[in-house]
Structure 1
Amino acid sequence: MSKSNFFRFERKNDFPFYSELQSPTLNLKSSLIFLIAVAVGFALFLVGFGGTYVQPFMNVIFPLAAVIFVARGHWTSLFRKLVAKDIVLILGTYIVNLIVTLGAGSIITKLFNVSANPVSEGFDGNFIEAIPTFLKMIPMLFGEELITILPFLVILSLGVQKLKLSRKSAVILAWIVASIIFGAYHLPTYNWNIAQAILGIGIARFVLLYPYIKTKNIWTSFIVHVLNDWTIFGFAFLSSMHH
């Protein structure tokens, strides 16, 4: 894999599972296992399976089990050690993502009818009652990383192996499609508002995938995701205190 197949912004490590060099390589069967695990986890999460304490983990348990089942000892390739320069990357992406999220949100609000996020609506200014909501976001957002990054890796391997795309083209395809999929996950949250979910959330997810694509480390995009959502819902909580 020559350097020209990598984007300039990428670190010199590579994605797992997508080519003959990255063992184990995803085939049709293992790709389906990944996607079915994502779908099952998401469906159980959506119906509130397991109640208050178990539901936030649904998108973690099934996708992670699928990775461990398929990749055996290589399952840890989703995770890498955080290094000092990741701090700059995380903070930089967090700021850009907040600007993009708020900017896209205000444009979409002007152009379309939008629905409020039920979590934001659920705050009543009580700090103690709000704490569990913020803590539950940790496993929920880690699950959201898994159910975005696994389809990303499946599309990447499909692009390289079956569509015979160059690595760069396959990364771009996977980046766009995974962002759209992530937006689609939010359709039930926003009353099936396509503009709000696919455009608004999808654009924010496109930014949020950048640290993962740069580092191949799920921890980087996860930390940005937590900072981003805690900030947005933190503002929602603060405004609930003034009502």
Structure 2
Amino acid sequence: MLPGLEKTPFSKWAALSIFLIALGVYGTLSGVLPLSWIWFAVGGGGAIWCQFNFETLKCSLARMKPGSWKFIILALILSYVTTTIAMIFGQFVLGIHFTANANGNFSGPMLGRIVDLLELTFSLVGEELITAAVAFPLYHLASKKLPAQWAWVVASVVSSLLFGLMHFKIYHGNLYQCLVVIGLTRLPFNYAWRKADSLWAGIIVHIIYDWIIFVPAMLTG
């Protein structure tokens, strides 16, 4: 996935990816467009296709390398550990009040809760695609000036911070919660992408991470 990005030229349609990313974010977060849970995936997948080509999108969603589950487990542990540290530091050192994630407010009949969880799960797939649609072109550009490892660090940090900012409205403008607790603590997801050479690793980590939080909420209402 990543080595090919260093040599793959931008498509003539690359500028269109900005519109598609914006569409994905708007469609998901505004509540104006129908089926809000599909737009991250539509915008992110379409953006990667426009930035490079369909083969790049296909390769980014290819089968994971053998043995990738150990990186998935490690990424899951790292993400929980860093999130916990960030929240403890924010609350007890900086005195920050954290806002609960509204996505975890399951109510109504059980069938409706299950549907909500499935829609949320598909949205998580889209979140990884939309984050990759920021990280991939940044990596491509940074790799021309920096060693591949540092280019990936730059792309991961910037895309993770922008991922955090997508939650600005959900967390009522709490920048520390958005940028640090939500943004930087997703760096292990990007680590899983790279080690598994597939976005599926980050997608799986993200789904397991959120399910551990949301499934109990779904069951208890």
TM interval, shorter chain, is 0.7 to 0.9
**Shift in Å, 1:152:** 0.6
CA contact (8 A) 1:79 1:219 kept: yes
CA contact (8 A) 1:35 1:150 kept: no
CA contact (8 A) 1:125 1:237 kept: no
Give 3-state SS (helix, strand or coil) of 1:191's partner. Answer: coil
For 1:13-162, list aligned pairs within 5 A.
14-17=2-5, 19-20=6-7, 23=8, 25-26=9-10, 30-51=13-34, 54-69=35-50, 70-110=52-92, 111-120=95-104, 122-124=105-107, 127-161=110-144
**Shift in Å, 1:237:** 4.2
Give 3-state SS (helix, strand or coil) of 1:85's partner. Answer: coil
**Shift in Å, 1:151:** 0.7
Structure 1 stretches lacking a partner, 5+ long: 1-12
- Rounded to whole Å, the distance in 2 between the matches of 1:140 and 1:115 is 20
State the match for 1:5 in structure 2: none
- Rounded to whole Å, the distance in 1 between the matches of 2:75 and 2:138 is 24
Distance 1:68 1:202, change over 3 A: closer
Structure 2 stretches lacking a partner, 5+ long: none
- Rounded to whole Å, the distance in 2 between the matches of 1:232 and 1:55 is 21
Distance 1:129 1:107, change over 3 A: farther
- Rounded to whole Å, the distance in 2 between the matches of 1:197 and 1:89 is 25
The more displaced of 75-84 and 169-178 is 75-84
**Shift in Å, 1:219:** 0.5
**Shift in Å, 1:125:** 8.2
- Rounded to whole Å, the distance in 1 between the matches of 2:141 and 2:13 is 12
Give 1:202's match in structure 2, choosing from 183, 190, 199.
183
**May I ask how many residue pairs the two structures share in their alignment?**
218
Q: Residue 165 of structure 1 aligns to which amino acid in structure 2?
A: L
State the match for 1:186 in structure 2: 167
The more displaced of 54-63 and 128-137 is 128-137
Distance 1:55 1:151, change over 3 A: same
**Shift in Å, 1:171:** 1.2
Percent identity between matched residues is: 23
**Shift in Å, 1:104:** 2.1
State the superposition RMSD in angstroms: 2.3
Q: Are 2:195 and 1:214 aligned? A: yes
Structure-1-length-normalised TM-score: 0.80
CA contact (8 A) 1:180 1:202 kept: yes
**Shift in Å, 1:216:** 2.4
Distance 1:157 1:82, change over 3 A: closer
Q: Which has the larger radius of gyration?
A: 1
Structure-2-length-normalised TM-score: 0.87
